[in-house]
Amino acid sequence: MQAAWMIVSAFFFASMAVGIKYASEQFSPLEIVFYRGIVGVFFVAWLARSRGVPLATRVPMMHVWRNVVGVAALVCWFYALGVLPLATAMTLNYMSGVWVGVFLIGGVLAMGKLADARRQGPLVLTVLASFAGVVMMLHPTIEQNQLFAGLIGLLSGLLSGLAYMQVAALGRVGEPETRTVFYFSVGATLVGGAGMLLTGVHGWTWPSAAWLLPIGVLAAIGQLTMTRAYTRGSTMVAANLQYSGIVFASLYGLLLFHAPIAPIGWVGMALIVVSGIAASFLRERAMPRRPPEEI
């Protein structure tokens, strides 16, 4: 079931990216962050109320930390997108799955649990294989004068990995997905709004403005399903299956923007799919009796 939630999340995020591509013709990245956040606040608040989920939390500082890390990752990624080639910025951000593996294995080794680290080893290899598939699909490049932006892009991936770990931690203490996503949407709204005060606000013109509502709704649903995948299953499997977003994005590019996929790109796509299947299989075989919320 975790695999289904993560793949659905990847589809919604890829669909959101299509909307951002169209909206970017009129609005700056910080404006899109703000509108995405404010739509998410109202949408998730309505969803929480309809489900009877209170928004008050017993762990406010965990949400603050998740917001600080998650929104910082978003800002770093948008900066990298503005300076680096698109493929390079996306590849560096998608290193988040690799960082999740590093954090998990490092934490297990620090606690002296060598046997657990060995069990996680094959799952880490599937994440690395998926990342190799991303590189094959995107062909990232970087120039010497883009090294600083490259470091910022690398930081976006590292911070994203930390944010996903925090999402899993919130799930382990019993925070529902709607509450976690609500507070993240609040954080994105505040940061985006502050940025708009500094950079200015563009007027609404159609059809670019028409994408702001679906961007917010798609982002909220993507966050909800991603949060459920990370909180109700293996963090490593979720990190691996997140790479399926590149597959959906590439297919959107082919169908909507007539962006051809090179032969090596199709090989990379197949590698991502096979690695995701392998990760799910390995998880089921290695730890079939663990509760679903455990890592």
Task: Please state, in angstroms and rounded to a whole number, the distance separating the CA atoms of residues 13 and 83.
Answer: 22
Burial 262-294 (b: 16+ CB within 10 A, else e): eeebeebbebbbebbebbbebbeeeeeeeeeee
Residue 284 has pLDDT above 90, yes or no: no
SS3 166: helix
Q: Which two tokens stand for residue 281?
A: 């299989």
Residue 234 has pLDDT above 70, yes or no: yes
Residue 3 or residue 38, greater confidence = 38
**Beta strands per DSSP E along the chain:** none
Q: What residue ranges do the domains of the chain occupy?
A: 2-286
Residue 68 or residue 20, greater confidence = 68
Task: Please state, in angstroms and rounded to a whole number, the distance separating the CA atoms of residues 242 and 97.
Answer: 8
Q: Give residue 2's pLDDT.
A: 64
Token pair 């949400």 is found at 63
Among 9-23, 105-119, 126-140, 234-248, the range scoring the smallest mean pLDDT is 105-119
Q: CA angle 97-99-101, nearest 5°? A: 75
In the structure, what pLDDT confidence band is assigned to residue 285 with cuts at 50, 70 and 90?
A: low
In the structure, what pLDDT confidence band is assigned to residue 292 with cuts at 50, 70 and 90?
A: very low
Average pLDDT over residues 266-270: 93
Average pLDDT over residues 189-198: 91
Report the mean per-residue pLDDT for the chain: 85
pLDDT tens digit sequence for 5-36:
999 998 998 888 888 878 888 888 889 889 99
In the structure, what pLDDT confidence band is assigned to residue 290 with cuts at 50, 70 and 90?
A: very low
Among 119-123, 166-170, 187-191, the range scoring the smallest mean pLDDT is 119-123
Task: Please state, in angstroms and rounded to a whole number, the distance separating the CA atoms of residues 17 and 222.
Answer: 11
Q: What percent of the chain has pLDDT over 90?
A: 37
In the structure, what pLDDT confidence band is assigned to residue 289 with cuts at 50, 70 and 90?
A: very low
Among 33-42, 105-114, 121-130, 284-293, the range scoring the smallest mean pLDDT is 284-293
DSSP state of 84: S
Among 240-254, 256-270, 277-291, the range scoring the smallest mean pLDDT is 277-291
Q: Give residue 24's pLDDT.
A: 81
Residue 221 has pLDDT above 60, yes or no: yes
* Cα radius of gyration (the chain): 19
Q: Give residue 63's pLDDT.
A: 93
Contact, 156 vs 77, CB < 8 A?
yes
Residue 227 has pLDDT above 50, yes or no: yes
Task: Please state, in angstroms and rounded to a whole number, the distance separating the CA atoms of residues 170 and 177.
Answer: 9
Nearest CA to 77 among 97, 94, 101?
A: 94
